A and B are shown apart, each in its own frame.
Chain A
Amino acid sequence: MRPTARHPRPRALLFALLGALGVALLATSPASADLLSPEAGPTENAQKIDTLYWIVMAVAIPIFLGVEGALIYALVKFRARKGAVPAQIRGNTRLEIGWTVGAAVIVIVLAVVTFAFLPAIRNPPNSGPGGLDVQQAGLTSSPVVESGAGREPPVPPDGQALNIDVNGLQYVWRYTYPDGDDNPGNNVFAYEQMVVPTDTTVVLSIRAQDVIHSWWIPAMGGKFDAVPGYTNATWFKITEPGEWDGQCAELCGRNHANMVATVKAVPPAEFEAWLAGKRQEIDAANQAAAQQREQVEAGRPPTEPGG
């Protein structure tokens, strides 16, 4: 290797890398904003998480640019040259205390900001005027069959929310809707697709029946682990009709990748119609089953008393 080629080469490499990075950033900026941030659908908790994310990003970018910039500047400026003498500096207490305190202040600020955002992410608001009136619709009870340790389902200020029980099992999500009575056995349930009314506060109780799963619809906010023996909880209040996909986010076995979920938001009237239709379906199925049972029993000899 020619000795003269030794020094320019790493510099050229660095510039090439920087250039590539710049081009990549420029090329991607017209793409969706979700390239650089989590998904956030029309529900306040997901949007607050997104905002919080961007605040962290606003702190992170100057630090990233500052440190990488200082690093690259040092590499270019202080590369070995003829006659250059390295400064024999062993430290600088004031500088070192300065950047330690500076870093500490930044993380304290981030912690304060997080706590300021937390209530709006954790606590659901009341349903909107266009939402479903759960009292009128008779959907006030909680459909949770068994409540384990863990997180209590949050309650909006007026106490009116549509509580849906989300149960993870290998490899499907089962949703149980409230129906106003205390018997959880006769409730409307559905698999995979969760239909919810728009502009209505929907509170989910999340649990699992076998192994650990994790409930996640990216546009509806974060993921919440469904742990057997525990209850987890989250909520959303979707302001416009639509469909959002998600899937189980905790390894739950071989078909983990296919344990998908969809949330479909429809206007309240449509939701009530869907619920009534589901109830009819279930009642019809129950009746058919009862008839079958009767037929089976009728074909048998009467049971011996005390037998």
Chain B
Amino acid sequence: MAAVDTTRPATRTAQPLPQILARSVERVPTGWTSWVTTTDHKKIGIMYLVLTFAFFLLGGVEALLMRVQLAVPENSFLDPSTYNALFTMHGTTMVFLFVVPILAGFGNYVVPLMIGARDMAFPKLNALSFWLLAAGGLVFYASLFFNPVEVGWFAYAPLSTGAYSPSGGVDAWIFLIHLTGISSLVGAINFYATITNMRAPGMGWGRLPLFVWTILVYSILLILALPVLAGAATLLLTDRHFGTAFFDPSQGGDALLWQHLFWFFGHPEVYIMVLPAFGIISEVLPVFARKPIFGYKAIAAATVVIAFLGLLVWAHHMFATPSPDVVLAFFMISSFLISVPTGVKIFNWVATLWRGTIEFKTPLLFGVGFISLFLVGGITGVFLAVFPVNWQLTDTYFVVAHFHYVLVGGSVFAIFAGIYYWFPKITGRMLSESIGRWSFAIMYVGFTVTFLVQHSAGMEGMPRRVYEYPDVGNLALWNMISTIGSFMLGIGVLVTVWNVTRSLKKGAHAGPDPWKANTLEWFTESPPPANNFDTVPRIRSVEPMKDIRRQVERQSPVEAPRPQPAPEHTVTA
């Protein structure tokens, strides 16, 4: 907080003023021990982001291998067991090792800064969360050298029981579930404790940034849903090794029990993966539209309602099972209901852009891409909720397209918005706008080319999880288009990887608040010092930085306007 403008009159208030001028970026200690032993939420957050992004690239390579196999009918590039292992690892990696933990990574880095805290509530538990995640990933990927799991990320019993999958791959998967599960649980408790107890003075629940709202709800959902999965995975483990028969119908067990337990976790998991993405979008859009978020309370309330309803929709993954019609009807209606708060959020985001002055920076592009793609995933979700229609669409490429629109078009695009938005805060450097734009354009087109035609492939009768398909109808055409698109998507991701690596050294100095943003993380330096804040201002609205900038303007003499904060593109080197 040292940069003092000498033209400014003596301070008329005890309120701290934001640092205005960009300075050179301070070197932080980078020895490997400083990372291994750290309990600093920012370092842990960075390690989360880097590790999970590495898993994202691994999962992406697995996806591309599958797309190569499916490019032409009756291909023999991969054998069935390799293909089954690939889609299992792809799904497991993307869910348990990428989307959920990278959101924890953003949460780790940003939440304490957003609420004006100096660290998380339990810094050592925070480090434990990260290392358990790393251990889970290690255990799971080590199975590559033995017998990788082949039963899908959902591991339906009885296929996953010892009689049909005797190899250790399923056990490695169960181990991953436990390790990443404990990691997420510990992390969720940490977030909950931090957000409820460590907010800046004046930051009531009505002034909590929307991203923090979503991380809070994410944590609650994790605490409610994960123990069910942990229990189910333990039952599976005892079925496999200790002679129990929870899922074996020939001994009085029940094969549908696994599905109920798995999806009781699995559907909240979808909202665990998408609600913080909503939060990122709710932070990014108002900043670049230069307009307050439209309907703050409605968006926060919709988050809570989605989480509540998200616990009541699990059996819509089971519409084709022999369940009574009344059960199917209940889960259709609950799934319909969840589309209402989700729709409200989309309307609110569009209304946020309405009558703003939209600056087309890369985070905004990804945010807008998110809205346009997530909308498609939301609408196809309504088709899937109509259970007689679901009987035709479920377990086909239509569903594959649907949830990739939600999880890639939704979560991943929001994650990229978050990367471009917070990279200046994390590193003190700007990412290149022009490379970012290219990355967005290639990813958007690549995504659409990959997944739009998969709806049609599914409706033509192509089921999921098949390593080959016959040359009937248009399947060969759809799959070739899809494969081409997937490589474009991959290139688009690599362009951002390149952007990140080059901007670490060459990026323009960001200064504390390059976007003129609304929330408190932009009050401190970029990157923030170890203690985050020397002083924490009193919070008077949901946009504390806007208040602070206004106050600075008010206190500045009109005849001598202050220099514009943050000369955004002063390229050094």
Contact surface of A with B, Cβ cutoff 8 Å: 1, 6-7, 9-10, 13, 17, 24, 31, 34-39, 46, 48-49, 52-53, 56-57, 59-60, 63-64, 67-68, 70-71, 74-75, 78-81, 84-92, 95-96, 99-100, 103-104, 107-108, 110-111, 114-115, 117-118, 121-122, 148-151, 170, 206, 210-212, 214, 216, 218, 221-225, 227-233, 245-257
Contact = CB atoms under 8 A, between A and B. Distances in A.
A96 B301 CA distance: 12
B275 interface: no
Given A107-B337, A222-B391, A254-B84, A211 B375 contact: no
The CB with the most chain B CB atoms within 10 A, among A6, A38, A80, is that of A38
A223 B466 CA distance: 16
Given A80-B290, A90-B292, A71 B353 contact: yes
B156 A212 contact: yes
5 contacts: A63-B379, A110-B386, A211-B164, A224-B391, A249-B463
B255 A227 contact: yes
Contacts of B333: 111
Nearest to B336: A107
Contact of B150 (A24, A52, A79, A254): A254
Contacts of B321: 225, 227, 230, 232
A118 B241 CA distance: 44
Given A87-B291, A107-B336, A250-B395, A228 B255 contact: yes
Contacts of B339: 103, 107
Q: Which 9 interchain pairs have the tightest Cβ spacing?
A: A222-B391, A229-B249, A150-B322, A257-B466, A107-B336, A38-B392, A87-B355, A232-B322, A218-B461
A210 B158 contact: yes
A223 B394 contact: yes
B322 A231 contact: yes
A228 B158 contact: yes
A85 B387 CA distance: 48
Contacts of A225: 318, 320-322
B135 interface: no
Contacts of B354: 70, 74, 78
Interface string B332-350: 1100110110011011101
Chain A residues touching B, majority SS:
mixed
Nearest to A98: B347
Nearest to B380: A60
A99 B340 CA distance: 9
Contacts of A115: 329
Nearest to A46: B392
A222 B388 contact: yes
Which of A56, A68, A84, A122 is packed against the most chain B CB atoms within 10 Å? A56
A148 B433 CA distance: 62
Contacts of B459: 34-39, 218
Most buried by A among B291, B452, B459: B459
Interface in B464-481: 464-469, 472, 474
A9 B467 CA distance: 41
Interface stretch (B138-146, B260-268, B357-365): B357-365
Given A17-B444, A257-B469, A223 B294 contact: no
A111 B291 contact: no
A70 B343 CA distance: 14
Chain B interface mostly helix, strand, loop or mixed?
A: helix
A89 B292 contact: yes
Nearest to A230: B322
Contacts of B46: none
Given A74-B358, A249-B395, A121 B322 contact: no
B344 A96 contact: yes
Given A70-B350, A221-B392, A89 B355 contact: yes
The residue among A7, A108, A247, A255 with the most chain B CB atoms within 10 A of its own CB is A247
A192 B459 CA distance: 22
Contacts of B250: 228-229
Contacts of B348: 96
B511 to A, nearest CB: 20
A154 to B, nearest CB: 11
Interface residues of B, number: 95
A88 B389 contact: no
A10 to B, nearest CB: 4
Given A91-B297, A249-B396, 7 more contacts: A56-B383, A56-B389, A74-B350, A78-B355, A121-B388, A148-B249, A211-B159
B357 A251 contact: no
A257 B80 contact: yes
B358 A100 contact: no
B196 interface: no
B376 to A, nearest CB: 7
A61 to B, nearest CB: 9
Contact of B371 (A71, A110, A221): A71
B358 A75 contact: yes
B226 interface: no
Contacts of B80: 254-257
B290 A91 contact: no
Nearest to A232: B322
B340 A103 contact: yes
Contacts of A246: 461
A96 B343 CA distance: 11
A17 B445 contact: yes
B509 interface: no
A212 to B, nearest CB: 6
Contacts of A107: 336-337, 339-340, 382
B37 interface: no
Interface string B235-260: 00000000000000110011110000
Most-contacted residue by chain A among B152, B250, B354, B472 (CB, 10 A) = B354
Contacts of A57: 383
B441 interface: yes
Contact of A1 (B389, B390, B434): B434
Contacts of B456: 35-36
Contact of B392 (A35, A36, A218): A218
Contacts of B356: 74, 78, 86-87
Contacts of A9: 360, 437
Nearest to B81: A254
Chain B CB count within 10 A is highest, among A49, A114, A148, for: A114
Contacts of B351: 89, 92, 95
Contacts of A36: 456, 459
Nearest to B339: A107
Interface in B419-477: 433-434, 437, 441, 444-445, 452, 456, 459-461, 463-469, 472, 474
A232 to B, nearest CB: 4
B210 to A, nearest CB: 13
A1 B432 CA distance: 11
A7 B364 CA distance: 13
B25 interface: no
Nearest to B469: A257
A228 B357 contact: no
Interface string B79-113: 01100100000000000000000000000000000
A141 B332 CA distance: 35
A86 B294 contact: no
A228 B382 contact: no
Contacts of B325: 118, 122
B225 interface: no
A227 B323 CA distance: 11
Give the residue among B365, B386, B387 with the most A Cβ atoms within 10 A: B386
A7 B437 CA distance: 12
B298 interface: yes
A80 B359 contact: yes
Nearest to B156: A212
